[in-house]
């Protein structure tokens, strides 16, 4: 394989063709995980081959990594891009562009800071509202079929629809809401603020700490204490 890559760098197109043909089984192994999406296998195979060709053209022999390790994510990325663009649920081009840029920024920030970035950090980097980033990322999520099997023990499979129920009109749900509201009223103002930001606004402990001017460890401690108080009151 190294000899073929050396030949490709010298402009040998026959070596490039040989390398592509020699790795078609890699494409076949990758597309197996996408065969339940309702797409034609031939189409997925062709798209996977595009990812393989991109991997061959961009692979750097100087990096201490196996070609398959480099190529598989490239193939998967190409197939996922195809599935997003050909989704039955149409998403506007501008929204998809924001989503793809957000994913790129997320990967760059995660690599730079060695941690998963917050939505606010991604929005600040893109200079767009936080709500737009959330909406864009939600829009490109692939829908899941109600008949998608989630468990199979040799008998009848359990589908997504088996795990879905409408509990909005049950009396127990109303009683739980009343109990939560009553327990929240018994907390201190700081505890109420932390729980509201964490569980109703979806903010991370780090974001809460920055907003109210304390450490993340303090937020974690206060949050744990507040939840303990709520359990006792309820």
- The more confidently predicted of residues 127 and 230 is 127
Residue 54 to residue 61: CA distance in whole angstroms: 15
pLDDT at 37: 64
Which ranges constitute the DSSP H helices of the chain? 2-9, 13-22, 24-31, 41-58, 67-85, 93-113, 119-126, 130-139, 171-185, 189-195, 205-212, 216-233
Phi, psi angles (nearest 5°) of residue 164: -105, 130
Instruction: Give the largest Cα separation in the chain, rounded.
Output: 75
- The more confidently predicted of residues 34 and 208 is 208
- The more confidently predicted of residues 197 and 143 is 197
This prediction's pTM: 0.41
Clarify whether residues 20 and 81 are in a common domain: yes
Q: CB of 221 within 8 A of CB of 190?
A: no
What is the average pLDDT across 63-87?
A: 82
What is the average pLDDT across 79-97?
A: 72
Clarify whether residues 204 and 189 are in a common domain: yes
Domain carrying residue 225: 171-233
Q: What does pLDDT average to over the chain?
A: 81
Clarify whether residues 195 and 207 are in a common domain: yes
Q: How confident is the model at residue 27 (pLDDT cuts 50, 70, 90)?
A: very high
Q: How confident is the model at residue 168 (pLDDT cuts 50, 70, 90)?
A: low
Clarify whether residues 6 and 83 are in a common domain: yes
Comparing 31-35, 87-91, 201-205, the range with the smallest average pLDDT is: 87-91
Clarify whether residues 1 and 79 are in a common domain: yes
Clarify whether residues 81 and 94 are in a common domain: no
Tell me the sheet residues that pair with 151. 158
Share of the chain above pLDDT 70, in %: 81
Residue 30, in any domain of the structure: yes
Q: How confident is the model at residue 53 (pLDDT cuts 50, 70, 90)?
A: very high
How many domains is the chain built from? 3
Q: Is 90 helix (H, G, I), strand (E, B) or coil?
A: coil
Q: CB of 23 within 8 A of CB of 52?
A: yes
Q: CB of 19 within 8 A of CB of 1?
A: yes
Residue 157, in any domain of the structure: no
Residue 102, in any domain of the structure: yes
Q: Is the pLDDT of residue 199 over 90?
A: no
Q: CB of 144 within 8 A of CB of 190?
A: no
Residue 26, in any domain of the structure: yes
Q: Is 149 helix (H, G, I), strand (E, B) or coil?
A: strand
Q: Who contacts 25 (Cβ-Cβ below 8 Å, separation ≥6)?
A: none
Tell me the sheet residues that pair with 149. 159
Clarify whether residues 71 and 30 are in a common domain: yes
Clarify whether residues 83 and 109 are in a common domain: no
Q: What is the CATH number of the domain that holds 128?
A: 1.10.10.10
Q: CB of 106 within 8 A of CB of 117?
A: yes
pLDDT in tens, 90-122: 666 777 788 888 888 988 888 888 888 898 999
What is the average pLDDT across 44-68?
A: 87
């Amino acid at each position: 394989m190294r000899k073929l890559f050396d030949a490709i760098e010298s402009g040998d197109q026959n070596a490039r063709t040989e390398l592509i043909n020699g790795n078609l089984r890699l494409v076949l192994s990758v597309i197996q995980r996408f065969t339940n999406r309702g797409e034609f296998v031939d189409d997925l195979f062709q798209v996977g081959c595009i990812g393989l060709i991109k991997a061959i053209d961009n692979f750097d022999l100087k990096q201490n990594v196996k070609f398959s390790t480099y190529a598989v994510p490239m193939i998967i990325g190409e197939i996922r891009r195809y599935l997003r663009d050909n989704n039955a649920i149409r998403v506007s081009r501008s929204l998809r562009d924001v989503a793809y840029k957000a994913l790129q920024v997320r990967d760059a920030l995660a690599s730079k800071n060695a941690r998963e970035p917050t939505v606010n950090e991604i929005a600040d980097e893109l200079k767009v509202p936080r709500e737009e980033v959330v909406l864009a990322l939600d829009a490109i999520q692939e829908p899941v079929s109600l008949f998608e099997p989630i468990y199979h023990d040799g008998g009848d499979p359990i589908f997504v629809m088996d795990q879905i129920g409408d509990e909005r009109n049950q009396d127990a749900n109303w009683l739980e809401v009343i109990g939560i509201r009553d327990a929240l009223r018994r907390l201190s103002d700081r505890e109420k603020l932390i729980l509201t930001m964490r569980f109703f606004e979806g903010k991370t402990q780090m974001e809460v700490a920055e907003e109210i001017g304390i450490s993340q460890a303090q937020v974690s401690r206060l949050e744990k204490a507040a939840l303990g108080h709520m359990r006792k009151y309820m």
